[in-house]
């Protein structure tokens, strides 16, 4: 784990009056943590959607803590963000599929500002893996690893940061605080042959996220779960090679923009892309027997 400070100094450059639409106001001056820059922690920031979250958040003037296993990619990203935006960027090299990796990140998330480290205003639970295959043939170690990162780590990281955020709000913090979870439309498909564990794990996050959002909303903390459809990243290389039509893909820029806008507005869930909003409506209307018949044909 490394703690690095921008060459431009330990204050981030502000790029505008607000960092996320509607998330911040002049109330910042009355914040109990005025000496700390607004800070976001993004997991899985070494590529794909997580890197896009890190870039857009840095562009808006936040300090960042970026987490992933691939040290070189994280360090390259940190250097680039410091040079481009003058932001403070810390890197944590951690495997979120292990208890040690999760512990190193929860330790950072539990910082409340009293030890000189900026408390985390926004946690983005993005890191994930997307193993598929028929369940009867799936490797059990790979199933465990996927559940550890896609589900268990998300719960533990969120459990670490929420008490700090709730206490900060209770102490008069005016900033928007909270969590963004990256779930998936795969969890919205009622019958998902070839993606049973991945889809069920993502559904878990969506259901759990909505409940936690309701629990903490009254305390001024926002929890938002974003449900992307297909996005062009390393995770979907095989799908991309299968030649899916262009309309099946949502740009990662849109996923991140929509997630941050929904989080700022305090919305518990958001689906990015009109095609997937329509798809979810249709999935809810289709009778289950039709879904099962379609799924059998797909399988």
Ligand X SMILES: NC(=O)c1ccc[n+]([C@@H]2O[C@H](COP(=O)([O-])OP(=O)(O)OC[C@H]3O[C@@H](n4cnc5c(N)ncnc54)[C@H](OP(=O)(O)O)[C@@H]3O)[C@@H](O)[C@H]2O)c1
Minimum Å gap between C-beta 30 and ligand X is: 35
Minimum Å gap between C-beta 45 and ligand X is: 6
Distances (CA, A) of 254 to 52, 124, 164, 189, 228: 10, 16, 30, 22, 10
Euclidean distance between CA atoms 226 and 139, whole angstroms: 28
Residue choice 54, 111, 123, 127 for contact with ligand X (CB under 6 A): 127
**Catalytic, out of 20, 85, 198, 276:** 198
**Does 48 contact ligand X by CB under 6 A?**
yes
Helices (H), the chain: 48-59, 71-85, 99-109, 140-147, 153-170, 196-217, 237-241, 252-265, 274-285, 288-298
Euclidean distance between CA atoms 125 and 179, whole angstroms: 7
Minimum Å gap between C-beta 240 and ligand X is: 9
Question: Cβ of 136: how many Cβ atoms within 10 Å?
Answer: 6
**Does 178 contact ligand X by CB under 6 A?**
no
- DSSP secondary structure code for residue 68 in this structure: E
Beta bridge partners of 80: none
- DSSP secondary structure code for residue 191 in this structure: S
Residue choice 39, 91, 126, 158 for contact with ligand X (CB under 6 A): 126
Residue choice 46, 158, 224, 264 for contact with ligand X (CB under 6 A): 46
Minimum Å gap between C-beta 27 and ligand X is: 32
**Does 69 contact ligand X by CB under 6 A?**
yes
**Does 180 contact ligand X by CB under 6 A?**
no
- DSSP secondary structure code for residue 234 in this structure: G
Determine whether 20 is an active site residue.
no
Beta bridge partners of 227: 271
Among residue numbers 187 through 246, which ones bind ligand X (CB under 6 A)?
A: 228, 230-231, 233-236
Residue choice 12, 61, 97, 132 for contact with ligand X (CB under 6 A): 97
Stretch of 27-35, 43-51, 207-215, 279-287 contacting ligand X, by CB under 6 A: 43-51
User: Residues near 295 by Cβ (< 8 Å), separated by ≥ 6?
Assistant: 191, 192, 193
Minimum Å gap between C-beta 43 and ligand X is: 6
Rule CB under 6 A: which residues touch ligand X? Answer: 44-50, 68-70, 73, 95-97, 126-130, 149, 182, 184, 228, 230-231, 233-236
Which of the residues are catalytic? 198
């Amino acid at each position: 784990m490394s703690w690095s400070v921008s060459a431009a100094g330990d204050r981030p450059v502000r790029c505008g009056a607000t960092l996320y639409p509607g998330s911040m106001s002049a109330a910042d001056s009355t914040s109990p943590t005025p000496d700390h820059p607004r800070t976001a922690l993004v997991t899985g920031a070494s590529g794909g959607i997580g890197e896009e979250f890190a870039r857009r958040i840095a562009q808006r003037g936040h300090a960042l803590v970026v987490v992933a296993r691939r040290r070189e990619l994280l360090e390259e990203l940190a250097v680039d963000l410091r040079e481009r935006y003058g932001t403070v960027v810390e890197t944590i090299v951690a495997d979120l599929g292990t208890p040690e990796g999760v512990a190193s990140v929860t330790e950072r998330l539990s910082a409340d500002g009293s030890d000189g480290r900026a408390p985390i205003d926004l946690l983005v639970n993005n890191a994930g893996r997307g193993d598929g295959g028929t369940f009867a043939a799936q490797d059990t170690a790979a199933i465990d690893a996927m559940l550890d990162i896609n589900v268990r780590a998300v719960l533990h990281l969120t459990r670490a940061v929420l008490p700090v955020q709730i206490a900060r709000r209770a102490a008069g913090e005016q900033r928007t605080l909270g969590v963004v979870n990256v779930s998936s439309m795969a969890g919205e498909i009622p019958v998902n042959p070839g993606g049973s564990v991945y889809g069920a794990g993502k559904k878990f996050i969506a259901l759990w996220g909505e409940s936690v959002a309701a629990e903490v909303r009254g305390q001024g903390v926002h929890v938002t779960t974003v449900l992307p459809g297909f996005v062009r990243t390393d995770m979907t290389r095989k799908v991309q090679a299968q030649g899916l039509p262009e309309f099946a893909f949502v740009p990662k820029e849109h996923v991140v923009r929509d997630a941050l806008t929904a989080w700022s507005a305090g919305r518990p869930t958001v689906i990015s892309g009109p095609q997937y909003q329509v798809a979810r409506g249709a999935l809810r209307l289709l009778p289950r027997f039709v879904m099962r018949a379609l799924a059998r044909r797909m399988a």
